[in-house]
Structure formats: C-alpha cells, structure tokens
Chains A and B, each alone.
Chain A
C-alpha cells in the first residue's frame, strides 16, 4: 500500500525554502550577530534533509545534481585560497582585509570583508560533509 504523503510534501516545499533562506540570513549576519558559516551550513543541510525525508534520494539528487565530495573540496580550496591570498600581498597567512563600498542594491558604505569568503568555504565544507554522510548512509543497504 502506498502511503499518501501529500501534506508532508506540500509543507516541505514551503518549509524547506524558508529554512534555506534563514540559513543564508544566518550565514551573512555572522560578523555582527550570532551565526556564521558553520551554523548556516548545518541549517542549509537541515533544509536539504527535509527534502530527503519527504522525497527520495534520486529525486533530491536530480534537483541538486552536485557531487557533494567535490563541494567539500571546493569549500576547502576557497577557505585555503583566502588564506593564501594574504601571502601575495607580503602579509602573513590568513591576513584578512575589508573595505566599504557603495553598492547599488545594498546601499552606501556596505562593509565587504574577505573573512566572508573564508566563511563561504566553511559553509560549503559543512554542507558537503553533512550531505555526504547522509547520502552515503542512506544509499548503503
């Protein structure tokens, strides 16, 4: 007998969108308020996990066709790259910089820091690792 999970699927479509939006909010506010790459990444994978619960592995993989092991590697490369960047300006490893820019949509004097790029690396690694763990355990019989 096939279970009818229409309510679960419909709710998931809305809720997972909200969760992922909130996780991105957490990611960007990490510099001034609690949040950051780690919790943002965990919450994104929480949203993806909800999709996995409502649908099955193949469906989710066709929606998000990433090899999550490559996502881990990309995240590491990004984090390491921002660290190495300092070396080219004759500064020590992991020296970060920031500046204030006038951006069209975000308003004047928006602070942009290279620490965000490092955080993006952390974010990708966390998403990649969580999803790899879940998918690997889910697939193995």
Chain B
C-alpha cells in the first residue's frame, strides 16, 4: 500500500524516459503522454483516497528507516497538491497538441513536461530537506529547457535571467541546508522538527529559517524577490507559462508552509511577523502591476504575485479556518491560473496579439471562449458560487480570528483590484466592435477549448461541491497545525 506514495513520481519519470526514444514520432509521443497523464490522475486520486482512509502514508526508500534514509511522505496536503498537479499536467498536455508547434514537439517537449511534473510531485512528496533541493533542481532544469525551447530572441534573453536568478537561489538553498545540518545534524524534516523543538529554536536556527525563507521567496516570487517573474513568464509559449504559473511558484509556497508549520514554529513573533509583512507588500506590488498593464499575460502574471502573497500569509494565521482557507485558495489558484493562461493562449491564437486594447468583439464569433473567460474571471475574483470565494471567505474568517485586520482589509481590496484587472480584459477583448473579420483571424481555437473547459469544470466543482472537498482540506490543515501527527507518522514513535 505504501508503494502508492512513489507512483506519482515514477509514472511521469518512466514516461519521460520512454518519450526520449520516440522524439521523432510525434503521434506516438502524444498518445504516450496522454495515457500516462490519465494514469497519473487516477493514481493521485487513489492516493488522496488512501490518505483520507489511512492517515499519513510513508514510503521508506531502500528500506532505510528514517531519519537515516530518504522517506517520502504523503499527508493530505501533499496528496491534494499532487492530484492538482496531475490534472493541470493533463490539461496542459492536451492544450499543447494544437498550440505548441511540431518543431518544439520533436525536440523532447513532452519529455521535459514529464520531467517537470516529476520534480513538482517529488517536491510535494519528499520528507527530506536535501531531497527537496534535488527535486527543486529536477523541476528547475526542466523549466530552463522549456523556457528556452524554440530559441526566439526574447526567450533566450529571459531564460538567461531566469537561470541566473535560480542558480543563485539554489546555491543559497545548499548553503542554508549546510548550515542547518551543521547545527542540528539531520536533514529529515520530521527529525529536524523534533530536534529543533528540543533545542527550543535558538537564534542561529531562526537565522537559518529566514535564509530558507529567502530561498523559497525567490522560487515563490514574494515581494522584493519577484522581480524576475514578469519577464521570464512572458517569454515562453502560453502552455509553458500555464505550467509555470500553476506549478512552479506554488512549490515555493508549499515549501514555506512545510518548513514553517512543521519545523520552525517556535519563534513566530519574529519569523511570522516578517513573513506577514512581506506577504502584504507582495499583494500590494502585485495589485499595482495588475492594474498597470494592458497585456493579457502580464495581467495574469501579476495576479500570480497577488495570489502568492495571499496564500503565504496563511502561514501566519493561527486558527484552522485561516490555514484551511489558505490551502483551499492554493488549490483553487493553481487550477484557475492554469485556466487563465490557457485562455490567454487561445485569445493569442485567434488575434495574434497579447494586448487587450488591440482585441475586440471576440464574443461575437467565439461565444464559448468568451463565457469561459467570464467564468474564470469571476472565479478568480471570488464570487460566491465559485471556488475563489470559499478560500477567501475562510481566509477572512481566519484573519478575524487571528486579529490580522490589516491583512483582511488588503485581501478584500485586492479582490476588487483583481476583479478590475481581469474584467478590463473581458470588456475590451470580448465586447465592443469586432476588430478582426473572419479572414483576418490568425487561427481557430478548435481543440484548445476542451482542456480549458476541464479546468473550469473542476474550478466550479471546487466551489459548488465545497461540502465534499472541505473535509479533505481540513484534514490537511490539521496535519499542518499539529506537527506531532506528521512526526509520529514518519518516525513511528
């Protein structure tokens, strides 16, 4: 049974390797990718079910007992994130069939997508800090290739920046892990938690915790360290941006949650206060960017920054409602950001431009696309029947219980800004007089709408079926808030 924990890593890894043999045969690559992604969705769904029934599952790689060997841990949070990742992976692969172009497909595109999914699921499932670093690198190296694949001038320039920033932050990660190992003497997350608790988190451990926060803040794009994100995410094709926007930054957020809930929770008046202010600044900076641009992709990119700030603030909330809200919002945001980037990609396919001002009247000939964009917009802003609402509602409730009124105010105001920034796109691109006649359109969105519809259906289900989803989320929040559950499951004491 514990073998199910490793399958979400093994399936994409094996697929990625097999796809390397078929790189010239595009049809075979497509079929293999889709079959394996469907399998991954099934296995991850079953993993969520298993964790719900049996509690936390662990997989001791190579039969070495923790803390001596590497252990993979599937608690509810990891399992849910792996499931979300697998669904987004499937939708992005479906979307890329008609949008990525044969040249990229023949140069190992599907292999690298699979390897990136390996890195993301591995980072979610691992129970060891250095192993987390390795999976970060697996994920990042695939993302380096995906961002540069195709070799346009813009891509090359931005991939250079992206690689530079990430190499520096990876080096910082290794340094932080080295410090931590020399002070505490272990790298297993559960064992680290025990030992840090025994020493009551002395000052040096707090300093290392903040160094780790800086590392994850670079990956997750928090306030002073988000400068690389807008340019880098603008460069690659929209499918790749959808994968990046939905998965990569969220891995950084997940790492912050894992580290500050399970290990470094003894000095919140110092660490969590700083994290809180950083998040508030992140939200404000994201809002400014989201208002400023007319470029559809840029607007969605700055919405990522806002969402990352909102979710990470959940670390500082002390009640279960707040943490559940942050987790709900995390999952909602992964899905809806993927959907929005894919929608932006479909709009670009039709009009050949990213500027909302140059589009117009799209809803006349593409009503389905228009209304799907509208659903995505109101879900993103948090209108009641849809998924964004419940996360934000719980966050507001948690903020009230934790007396974080400043956050509550900024969260609610930022919702307005988010709504304004995307409805601006909707009004300019879909209403008004059509700018392009049927002959002038650059391409048709045929086949592109199915994956978007899948993601939106999931988003609607998350909102309407909140009764079914919330037990899983509150399970995840409980594990985060009581590190002893996690430690007992891993160390089997």
Residues of A92-111 whose CB lies within 8 A of B: 92-96
Chain A residues whose C-beta falls within 8 Å of the C-beta of B59 in the assembled complex: 92-93
Chain A residues whose C-beta falls within 8 Å of the C-beta of B60 in the assembled complex: 92
Residue A77, interface by CB 8 Å? yes
Chain B residues whose C-beta falls within 8 Å of the C-beta of A94 in the assembled complex: 61-62
Chain A residues whose C-beta falls within 8 Å of the C-beta of B20 in the assembled complex: 69-70, 72-73, 76
Residue B400, interface by CB 8 Å? no
Interface string of A69-83 (1 = CB under 8 A from B): 110110011001000
Residue A57, interface by CB 8 Å? no
CB B6 to nearest CB in A, in angstroms, measures: 5
A80/B2 in contact, CB under 8 A: no
B2/A92 in contact, CB under 8 A: yes
* Also in contact, A73 and B62, with CB within 8 A (given A92-B2, A93-B6): no
* Docked pose: A62 CA to B392 CA in angstroms: 64
CB A136 to nearest CB in B, in angstroms, measures: 12
Chain A residues whose C-beta falls within 8 Å of the C-beta of B457 in the assembled complex: none
B17/A93 in contact, CB under 8 A: no
CB B34 to nearest CB in A, in angstroms, measures: 20
B10/A84 in contact, CB under 8 A: yes
* Docked pose: A69 CA to B13 CA in angstroms: 16
Residue B427, interface by CB 8 Å? no
* Docked pose: A84 CA to B3 CA in angstroms: 10
Residue B198, interface by CB 8 Å? no
CB B25 to nearest CB in A, in angstroms, measures: 14
Interface string of B34-69 (1 = CB under 8 A from A): 000000000000000000000000011111000000
A93 interface neighbour in B18, B21, B23, B62, Cβ under 8 Å = B62
* Also in contact, A73 and B21, with CB within 8 A (given A87-B3, A92-B3, A93-B6): yes
State the interface size on chain A (CB cutoff 8 A). 16
* Docked pose: A69 CA to B108 CA in angstroms: 11
CB A52 to nearest CB in B, in angstroms, measures: 23
* Docked pose: A87 CA to B10 CA in angstroms: 11
Chain B residues whose C-beta falls within 8 Å of the C-beta of A73 in the assembled complex: 17-18, 20-21
* Docked pose: A86 CA to B63 CA in angstroms: 10
* Docked pose: A84 CA to B23 CA in angstroms: 24
* Docked pose: A76 CA to B18 CA in angstroms: 10
Chain B residues whose C-beta falls within 8 Å of the C-beta of A92 in the assembled complex: 2-3, 6, 59-63
* Docked pose: A80 CA to B20 CA in angstroms: 14
CB B227 to nearest CB in A, in angstroms, measures: 31
* Docked pose: A72 CA to B23 CA in angstroms: 13
Chain A residues whose C-beta falls within 8 Å of the C-beta of B17 in the assembled complex: 73, 76-77, 80
Instruction: Write the chain A residue with the least CB distance to B71.
Output: A92
Residue A91, interface by CB 8 Å? yes
B21/A70 in contact, CB under 8 A: yes
Chain B residues whose C-beta falls within 8 Å of the C-beta of A76 in the assembled complex: 17, 20
Residue B14, interface by CB 8 Å? yes
* Docked pose: A96 CA to B61 CA in angstroms: 10
* Docked pose: A65 CA to B6 CA in angstroms: 36
* Docked pose: A68 CA to B331 CA in angstroms: 40
Chain A residues whose C-beta falls within 8 Å of the C-beta of B18 in the assembled complex: 73, 77
* Docked pose: A123 CA to B63 CA in angstroms: 24
Instruction: Write the chain B residue with the least CB distance to A91.
Output: B63
Instruction: Write the chain A residue with the least CB distance to B21.
Output: A73
Instruction: Write the chain A residue with the least CB distance to B60.
Output: A92
* Docked pose: A69 CA to B111 CA in angstroms: 12
Chain B residues whose C-beta falls within 8 Å of the C-beta of A93 in the assembled complex: 3, 6, 10, 59, 61-62
* Docked pose: A77 CA to B62 CA in angstroms: 18
Chain A residues whose C-beta falls within 8 Å of the C-beta of B10 in the assembled complex: 80, 84, 93
B14/A80 in contact, CB under 8 A: yes
CB A69 to nearest CB in B, in angstroms, measures: 7
* Docked pose: A76 CA to B59 CA in angstroms: 22
Chain A residues whose C-beta falls within 8 Å of the C-beta of B62 in the assembled complex: 86, 92-96
CB A137 to nearest CB in B, in angstroms, measures: 15
CB A22 to nearest CB in B, in angstroms, measures: 30
* Docked pose: A94 CA to B63 CA in angstroms: 8
* Also in contact, A80 and B13, with CB within 8 A (given A92-B2, A92-B3, A93-B6): yes
* Docked pose: A91 CA to B64 CA in angstroms: 11
Residues of B5-35 whose CB lies within 8 A of A: 6, 10, 13-14, 17-18, 20-21, 23
Instruction: Write the chain B residue with the least CB distance to A73.
Output: B20
Chain A residues whose C-beta falls within 8 Å of the C-beta of B21 in the assembled complex: 70, 73
Chain B residues whose C-beta falls within 8 Å of the C-beta of A80 in the assembled complex: 10, 13-14, 17
* Docked pose: A73 CA to B114 CA in angstroms: 14
* Docked pose: A87 CA to B3 CA in angstroms: 7
Interface core residue of A76, A93, A94 (most chain B CB under 10 Å): A93
Instruction: Write the chain B residue with the least CB distance to A77.
Output: B17
Interface string of B181-199 (1 = CB under 8 A from A): 0000000000000000000
* Docked pose: A87 CA to B131 CA in angstroms: 21
Chain B residues whose C-beta falls within 8 Å of the C-beta of A96 in the assembled complex: 62
Given contacts A80-B10, A84-B14, A87-B6, 14 further A-B contacts (CB under 8 A): A69-B23, A70-B20, A72-B20, A73-B20, A73-B21, A77-B17, A77-B18, A84-B10, A92-B3, A92-B59, A92-B60, A92-B63, A93-B59, A95-B62
6 A-B pairs closest in CB distance = A73-B20, A94-B62, A76-B17, A93-B6, A95-B63, A94-B61
Which A residues lie at the B interface, using CB under 8 A?
Answer: 69-70, 72-73, 76-77, 80, 84, 86-87, 91-96
Q: List 22 A-B contacts (CB under 8 A).
A: A69-B20, A69-B23, A70-B21, A73-B17, A73-B18, A73-B21, A76-B17, A76-B20, A77-B18, A80-B14, A86-B62, A87-B3, A87-B6, A92-B3, A92-B6, A92-B59, A92-B63, A93-B3, A93-B10, A93-B62, A95-B62, A96-B62
